[in-house]
């Protein structure tokens, strides 16, 4: 959870959100994660964060433009590792089918 300007946000992913992210970054999610050992580039990290961001208790996602701004602010204030870790944790929680052993 992230508190920003008096609002609490959470990260939540599903197949449709992953498809939006892949279209935005131009790379399959698992290829991006594997090729960089889970350490996403800043552009990708902002997209992963922005497209998975929801206000707590809301059914709708934050607009990507607003999510990108929130991502930038949080990366600067809490650090890259914290935000990258939150994205990876949420992806594993919400999309375990991507992380199953073959």
* Nearest CA among 65, 74, 98, 100 for reference residue 10: 74
Q: For the residues 38-52, what does the mean pLDDT come to?
A: 94
CA separation, residue 36 to residues 2, 67, 82 (Å):
25, 23, 17
Radius of gyration of the chain (CA): 13
Q: What is the mean pLDDT of the chain?
A: 92
Number of domains in the chain: 1
Domain range for 41 is 2-98
Phi, psi values for residue 51, rounded to 5°: -80, -10
Q: SS3 letters for 17-76?
A: HHHHHHHHHCCCHHHHHHHCCCCCCHHHHHHHHHHHEEECCCCCECCHHHHHHHHHHHHH
Residue-wise pLDDT tens digits, 69-100: 999 999 999 999 999 999 999 999 999 888 77
**Whether 51 contacts 21, CB under 8 Å:** yes
Residue-wise pLDDT tens digits, 25-35: 999 988 988 88
pLDDT at 77: 94
Q: Per the structure block, which two tokens stand in for 96?
A: 């375990």
Q: Has this prediction a pTM greater than 0.85? A: yes
């Amino acid at each position: 959870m992230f508190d920003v300007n008096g609002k609490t946000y959470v990260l939540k992913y599903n197949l449709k959100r992953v498809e939006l992210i892949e279209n935005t970054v131009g790379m399959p999610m698992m290829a991006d994660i594997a090729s960089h050992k889970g350490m996403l580039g800043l552009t990708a990290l902002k997209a992963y964060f922005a497209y998975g961001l929801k206000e707590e208790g809301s059914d709708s996602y934050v607009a990507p433009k607003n999510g990108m701004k929130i991502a930038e602010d949080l990366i600067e204030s809490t650090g890259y590792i914290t935000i990258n870790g939150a994205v990876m944790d949420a992806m594993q929680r919400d999309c375990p089918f991507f992380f199953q052993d073959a």
